Amino acid sequence: MNNNHEPESLSKKVVRGGMWVFGLRIIDRGLGFVRTIILARLLAPEDFGLLGIAMLAIATLETFSQTGFQTALIQKKENVESYLDTAWTVSAIRGVLIFLILFLFAPLVATFFNSPQAMLVIKVIAVSTLLSGFRNIGILFFQKELEFNKQFIYEFSATLVDITIAITLAFMLRSVWALVWGGLAANFVRLFMSYILHPYRPHVRLNKGEFKELFGFGKWVLGSSILVFLVTQGDDIFVGKMLGVTALGFYQMAYLISNMPTTEIAHVASQVTFPAYSKLQNDIQRLKEAYFDALQLTAFVSIPMAGGIFVLAPEFTQIFLGEKWMPMVSAMQVLVLAGLVRSIAATAGTLFVAIGRPQIDTLWEITRLFVLATLIYPFAMKWGLTGVSIVVFLSILVMSIGFGFEVVKITKCRGERFLRVVFFPLINTTFMISLISTLKIGNNMVGIWRFFLFIIIGVLAYFGIAYLLDRFFNYGIRALIKQSLATFMAP
């Protein structure tokens, strides 16, 4: 009897969890969008570059010391409470060590990037790694048990504090310190809320057997994390070192704006699908259907978002960020394509980890790194930030094609099904971009109201074509949306 109800119960949890995560990301990034626009108006590209240097230093140490323990605990099907103290103890030790290394080696990092102002920024923001290390390990159950309503509260409280403090201080200080103190305050709130929202209370305990077992899985996550760092942060390090702090500010802002919608789609997909795939790892047929449902919804939402950003990037930058940010527009347009491909690939990346084969992700990340390392210097020297963006797009595209072949082998599906799911949203988006581009002809100066009018027309065009193609070619998106909504609303 329980087995008969398990699929329905899991389906409801996945859909409800997806709604909570998507709601959180919409609110979080909506507020973040407002924060970015206000801070971009008040601060200079160099301020964002200084913060970028500090965050690169933190990301480097956090990546190369990644244990993968939380991922391992979420992936395990059996009870994991006995492992929590060991995982938390390792996390706390790691946080202390990262803080000390950052504090002591901040002058060397500042010298590497030829930016003396970055030294103090790095030392202060290093405190965030200390706070992160001592967070309550129990919050992993929010994701493991698909309790994303609690995850919503946990993340939103930190976001609200970050935005409030950063914007207030930006008006007062007009410097990078508004960004620094806002981020620190958010990390303190995450530490505090982790103990408020989950009853588990960790203790210092290090069990050698548990450590070895968790690391046996986590080592692949570590390998993948290092590779992901090199391919996602390597371009930032290159830009900061070779093109300068101001160029890094332009590049990171271009990446943030262009990837904001597609990154959120990828984040929702990975958070919800990973625990769901983990529960279905022994049932290939149900796993295949779950994957294609996730892929279809992701493609249907992320492709038009990317298309809209691509076609309206110049107008958005001029209206909302100001003339001083216009040099980043071409890079933004290329990076939005990279973000789109990455959001599609995210539905597959979690599949590999969930079935206990994270090495697949690792191997394709190596391929992506090879493409990036081989092409970034000549492209950057010839085309600057746009050249770097092109290489990032090509590296992600190669990896995503590889992911597609791996999914076909694992789920034993036909490759045509994969292509069909992505093809129809591409057709709809192409029509939408063509329509907006036509309307833009002769309108060199686009005001804010005309900008929003273009968005409304684009949305109506996309959904109109999607409805017609669904009716005539049975794409199935309407049925999938109705099923998801019905599941979410059901008691």
Residue with structure tokens 């480097």? 60
Task: Give the model's pLDDT for residue 75.
Answer: 65
What's the predicted TM-score (pTM) here?
0.78
Task: Give the model's pLDDT for residue 488.
Answer: 46
Q: What is the DSSP letter of 241?
A: I
3-state secondary structure of 207: coil
Q: Would you list the DSSP string of 252-268? A: HHHHHHHHHHHHHHHHH
Domain boundaries of the chain, sorted by first residue:
244-491
- Per the model's pLDDT, the better-predicted residue between 242 and 67 turns out to be 242
Distance CA 281, CA 279 (A): 6
Give the Cβ contact number of residue 190 at 10 Å: 22
With a pLDDT cut of 70, the percent of the chain lying above it is: 83
Of the given ranges (2-6, 71-75, 405-409), which has the lowest mean pLDDT? 2-6
Q: Contacts from 432-437 at CB under 8 Å and sequence distance 24+?
A: 432/304, 432/307, 432/308, 432/458, 432/461, 432/462, 432/465, 433/307, 433/310, 433/311, 433/458, 435/461, 436/308, 436/311, 436/312, 437/311
Mean pLDDT of 351-366: 81
Asked if the model's pLDDT at residue 485 lies above 60, the reply is no
What are the tens digits of pLDDT across the range 244-290?
A: 999 999 999 999 888 876 666 666 666 666 666 766 767 778 888 88
Rg (CA), the chain: 23
What are the tens digits of pLDDT across the range 367-425?
A: 999 999 999 999 999 999 999 999 999 999 999 999 988 888 888 887 777 788 888 89
* Mean pLDDT computed over every residue of the chain: 84
